């Protein structure tokens, strides 16, 4: 037992995370997503909305360390509105709701005066697009009749990217990928993510989506690029604000944002890929 404890501590130190709590939280979140989708898909939309609202609170708290005070309640209201628009109005509803929410946020900042207006407005716009807008594509994935299959395919893709990038990075990682942004990420980890996400995507598209395996392989490549970019972008934000995690709500992960970072960037890419495939199938090209 002492040897196992030593190994676990060594892995935790190398990865910068506690492994066992991280696995437990990940399994719980996957089960929660699956349950919401097999019961009533609108519950999943509600879960996404709750996650976004919690993420906005984390971003708001983090930005206060840089003396930027984004409008918490205005962004919370916008998040709920964008989620509802995505569920009831599709991609057009999400786009229109975002176009309306953005100027409303700026107008509501005017009573604060001109001091710090540019920085606050910029941070508010970033929060609006980064969270409720990008998260809206999670809801768009779940919206059709095969929403369960589409979302679970995303779970497989992002899960393979994160898990195998983590494992290969811990076991084989020697060459930093972006040392100034995320010192724990390695080129070996990225290669591991690419290999296993392509395999996972191929299997997911074949067995879950009942589609061509090679489309899943392409989706895997896209997911590695987008999910890794999302992770690095959140790391850059945290380093600029001199914080380790956005929050501490999820043991082994940090905050909600530390779990959403890769998903937020991968979801729009997968949604677009599935839309292209659907239209190609409808036109007889596939």
pLDDT tens string 114-129: 999 999 999 999 999 9
pLDDT score of 89: 97
pLDDT band at 226 (very low <50, low <70, confident <90, very high): very high
16 has pLDDT over 60: no
pLDDT score of 127: 96
For the stretch 54-82, pLDDT in tens is 999 999 999 998 899 999 999 999 999 99
| Separation of alpha carbons 137 and 131, rounded Å | 10
Mean pLDDT of 119-142: 96
pLDDT score of 5: 52
181 has pLDDT over 80: yes
Mean pLDDT of 215-223: 96
pLDDT score of 19: 60
Mean pLDDT of 153-170: 92
Largest CA distance in the chain: 61
């Amino acid at each position: 037992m002492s040897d196992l404890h030593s190994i676990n501590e060594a892995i935790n130190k190398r990865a910068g995370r506690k492994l066992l709590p991280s696995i437990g939280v990940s399994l719980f979140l996957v089960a929660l997503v699956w349950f919401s989708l097999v019961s009533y898909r609108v519950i999943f939309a509600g879960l996404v909305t709750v996650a976004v609202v919690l993420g906005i609170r984390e971003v708001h708290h983090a930005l206060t360390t840089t003396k930027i005070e984004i409008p918490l309640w205005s962004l919370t209201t916008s998040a709920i509105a964008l989620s509802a628009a995505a569920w009831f109005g599709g991609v057009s509803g999400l786009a229109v709701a975002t176009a309306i929410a953005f100027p409303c946020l700026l107008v509501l900042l005017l009573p604060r005066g001109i001091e710090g207006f540019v920085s606050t407005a910029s941070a508010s716009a970033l929060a609006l697009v980064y969270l409720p807008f990008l998260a809206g594509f999670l809801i768009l994935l779940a919206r059709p009749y095969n929403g369960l299959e589409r979302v679970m395919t995303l779970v497989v893709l992002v899960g393979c990217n994160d898990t195998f990038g983590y494992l290969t990075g811990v076991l084989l990682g020697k060459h930093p990928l972006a040392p100034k942004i995320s010192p724990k990420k390695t080129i070996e980890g990225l290669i591991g993510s690419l290999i296993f996400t392509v395999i996972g995507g191929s299997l997911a598209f074949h067995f879950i989506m009942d589609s061509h395996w090679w489309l899943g392989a392409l989706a895997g490549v896209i997911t590695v690029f987008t999910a890794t970019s999302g992770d690095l972008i959140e790391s850059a934000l945290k380093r600029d604000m001199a914080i380790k995690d956005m929050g501490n709500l999820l043991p082994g992960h940090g905050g909600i944002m530390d779990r959403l970072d890769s998903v937020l960037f991968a979801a729009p890419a997968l949604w677009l890929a599935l839309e292209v495939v659907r239209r190609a199938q409808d036109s007889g090209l596939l």
